[in-house]
């Protein structure tokens, strides 16, 4: 099996470059923000960070394909880098530090593409998380200054911490009642939002999280980090990986109950 460590090192270099670009414009008074056709915001920093990552990938991995939130798909082949230059743009443009650059390498295999490397870098929080297939999940400032992370051992919903992003998507999908029933069963709920709940599941400080509507670039890096930390990452339909257009992540012990509530089976 490939060890993917060279790709992981490259992903860290890409994240370093993106961090420098995004932090340089964070809280800038003249930051330019536009509205995309789907009515979500995009800043000049989103575009600049993705252009920077794409440029470095084209030099370092010219045979690999690239899929990014702002500029779509480029190239073909069995290896595909998936980029969200700023996950949490609404936070970014309002000066909230909970946002991150998400970088993943996906490789073609049985049933489609699967994430094999993931880096989530949140420079305004001073945090970074990463994983490579078969090598575990870590957090730290760099590859040489890292701590291995692992999911929690909480086995009862009544003891569990559940994190989410917002309520509106659950209501739009007709899943709000199941969502609210779940919140009544768990020990604690918090709406941390975006990438952060998945990283906390991987670290064991949160036990389960879910979002009702997502794109591949929102999930690919999170998925490999959660699973390499020993957790479970699926769609709401139970399909493993980041392919369902939504996500549920947990320590594994509570995953069936998480899906049961969100699909209205309880």
Beta strands at 72-74 and 145-149: parallel, antiparallel or unpaired: unpaired
pTM: 0.95
User: What CA–CA distance (Å, rounded) separates 202 from 246?
Assistant: 18
Of 222, 257, 258, nearest to 241 by C-alpha is 222
Q: Are 239 and 194 in contact (CB under 8 A)?
A: no
Strands of 159-242, DSSP E: 161-163, 188-190, 208-211, 232-234
Q: Are 164 and 197 in contact (CB under 8 A)?
A: yes
Tens digit of each residue's pLDDT, the chain (266 residues)? 678 999 999 999 999 999 999 998 888 777 787 776 666 767 788 888 999 999 999 999 999 999 998 889 999 989 999 999 999 988 988 899 999 999 999 999 988 999 999 999 999 999 999 999 999 999 998 888 899 999 999 999 999 999 998 888 999 999 999 999 999 999 999 999 899 999 999 999 999 999 999 999 999 999 999 999 999 999 999 999 999 999 999 999 999 999 999 998 87
């Amino acid at each position: 099996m490939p060890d993917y460590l060279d790709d992981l090192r490259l992903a860290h270099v890409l994240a370093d470059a993106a961090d420098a670009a995004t932090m340089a414009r964070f809280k800038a008074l003249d930051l330019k923000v536009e509205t995309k056709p789907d009515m979500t915001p995009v800043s000049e920093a989103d575009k600049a960070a993705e252009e920077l990552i794409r440029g470095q990938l084209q030099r370092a991995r010219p045979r690999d394909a690239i899929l990014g939130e702002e500029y779509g798909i480029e190239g073909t082949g069995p290896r595909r880098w998936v980029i969200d230059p700023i996950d949490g743009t609404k936070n970014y443009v309002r000066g909230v530090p909970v946002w991150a650059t998400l970088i993943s390498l996906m490789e073609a295999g049985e049933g489609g593409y699967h994430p094999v490397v993931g880096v989530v870098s949140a420079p305004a929080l001073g945090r970074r998380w990463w994983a490579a297939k078969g090598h575990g999940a870590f957090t730290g400032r760099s590859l040489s200054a890292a701590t291995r992370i692992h999911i929690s051992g909480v086995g009862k919903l009544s003891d569990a911490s559940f994190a989410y992003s917002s309520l509106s998507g659950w209501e739009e999908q007709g899943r709000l009642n199941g969502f609210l029933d779940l919140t009544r069963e768990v020990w604690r709920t918090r709406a941390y939002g975006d990438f952060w709940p998945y990283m906390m599941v991987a670290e064991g400080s949160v036990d389960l999280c879910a979002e009702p509507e997502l794109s591949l670039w929102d999930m690919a890096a999170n998925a490999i980090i959660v699973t390499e930390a020993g957790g479970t990452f699926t769609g709401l339909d139970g399909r493993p990986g980041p392919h369902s257009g939504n996500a549920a992540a947990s320590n594994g012990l509570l995953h069936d109950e998480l899906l049961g509530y969100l699909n209205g089976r309880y």
